[in-house]
Amino acid sequence: MQNKTKTSSAQSKEHKKQQRNRLLMVVNNPAFFLSHRLEIALAAKAKGYEVHIATMDGPAVKTIQSYGLMHHSIALTRSGNNPFQELYSIFDLWRLFRRLKPNVIHAVTIKPVLYGGIAARLAAQGRFLAAISGLGYIFTQNTGWLRRMVMLLYRFAFKGQHTRVIFQNEYDQNFFLQSGILQPEQCVLIPGSGVDTKRFFYVPEPIPPITILMVARLLKDKGVREYVEAARLSQAAGFNWQWQLAGSPDPGNPTSVKERSVLNWQAQGLIHWLGERQDIDLLYQQSHIAVLPSYREGLPKSLIEAAASGRPVVTTQVPGCQDAIIANKTGLLVPVKDSQALFQAVQKLAMNAGLRQKMGQAGRELALNRFSIEKIVQAHLTVYEQMAH
């Protein structure tokens, strides 16, 4: 009888240990997980966590599994046009949480955060970690009733003493605090998803012509139209600069640029469209200036990759973008939705090689000191450890 009691106790301890080490990351798009959260998941796995990844289906799922991570397909969609489908998404997450019983749920991007937070509360899985990587279309477009509804959902999803929320910039964090959605002790500030400074490294800039590079999803909110208009101004001024655009349209996003528009801009000789690329590190090595005229961000990965590559940045004076640079030291800030100012800032850098190189070197130092993937991964592991105990 005593042996049975000891065996039962040992099994109970082992079960608790497994529970403590079980991490579930919920991300909408499997490709986004690979580009923005893979290193964190692998580091957690190396630390002894049993790591599960839940995403939509897609070709990137096999790649996720190839890293030894357990994958679960969930019923999430990019758009939210069907209310029954959205309710089913919450149910599907609830069912997954009840089955896996993860000790820490780490949700990334708006739908996993909102729906995951609701499902976690309903499933009585209280240790919920949400990553706010930017306030997105609903807030940048200021769409009244929809914004109010999302705020109510955030309030419900984040209610609970075991909920923590990671912010990438202080502006977004303060917005949630001032709105009464969160308490200070629930907030964690981690600047972005990190950059691999060994992959993105400095090489001397190429010989002219000056090459300007924008890396982003092709959304109006990313400032694609302003970028193209700045290219038009440079063409009209007679400059033989190459304006490159790396990224693809996102049909699931209401602000997506149409592919025919991009092809038309290319036909006019305004930009060179590179499409979706995996060799962004090489593209930065082949460029002189990085540009992102976004309307709002969490903390844009493309800008810290540019900084790590030793390239000066021109970006907008908005939350997220301005947090990714040191103004007038690693790059230049311009007003949002101002193509003329954007062109003038690019011109200032294009005409001054010494300034470009000085800012590029300062950007490399910034990336090493603040945004290196090692620092960002360790910050996440610390939060996991705190929540798991």
pLDDT tens for 243-253 read 999 999 988 78
Least confident of 73-82, 224-233, 260-269, 339-348: 73-82
Same domain, 352 and 377: no
Q: What burial class does residue 24 get, using C-beta atoms within 10 Å of its C-beta: 0-12 exposed, 13-18 middle, 19+ buried?
A: buried
Domain span at 215: 211-371
Residue 22 pLDDT > 80: yes
CA-nearest of 187, 192, 145 to 168 is 192
Same domain, 161 and 241: no
Confidence of residue 350 (pLDDT cuts 50, 70, 90): very high
Residue 202 lies in a domain: no
Pull the structure tokens for residue 61. Answer: 């799922």
CATH code: domain of residue 72: 3.40.50.2000
Q: Are 291 and 262 spatial neighbours (Cβ–Cβ below 8 Å)?
A: no
Same domain, 22 and 99: yes
Same domain, 47 and 119: yes
Residue 120 pLDDT > 50: yes
Q: How many domains does the chain have?
A: 2
Residue 134 pLDDT > 80: no
Percentage with pLDDT > 90 across the chain: 74
Same domain, 362 and 382: no
Least confident of 6-20, 84-98, 260-274: 6-20
Residue 162 lies in a domain: yes
pTM, full prediction: 0.84
Mean pLDDT of all residues in 202-213: 96
Q: Tens digits of per-residue pLDDT, 271-297?
A: 999 999 999 999 999 999 999 999 988
According to DSSP, residue 329 is labeled T
Q: Are 164 and 130 spatial neighbours (Cβ–Cβ below 8 Å)?
A: yes
Residue with tokens 């949630």: 176
Mean pLDDT of all residues in 154-161: 84
Same domain, 188 and 218: no
Cis peptide before 206 (omega within 30 of 0): no
Same domain, 109 and 258: no
Mean pLDDT of all residues in 171-197: 92
- Determine the Cα–Cα distance for residues 95 and 112; give it in Å rounded to an integer: 14
Same domain, 189 and 62: yes
Same domain, 65 and 157: yes
Same domain, 353 and 380: no
Q: Tens digits of per-residue pLDDT, 259-268?
A: 999 999 999 9
Q: Are 388 and 20 spatial neighbours (Cβ–Cβ below 8 Å)?
A: yes
Residue 199 lies in a domain: no
Same domain, 381 and 351: no
Same domain, 226 and 315: yes
Mean pLDDT of all residues in 14-43: 83
Alpha carbon 378 to chain centroid, angstroms: 17
Helix, coil or strand: residue 333: strand
User: Which residues in 184-200 are b (16+ Cβ under 10 Å) and which e?
Assistant: eebbbebbbbbbebeeb
pLDDT value of residue 289:
98
Q: Are 53 and 27 spatial neighbours (Cβ–Cβ below 8 Å)?
A: yes
**Better pLDDT: 194 or 11:** 194
Residue 206 lies in a domain: no
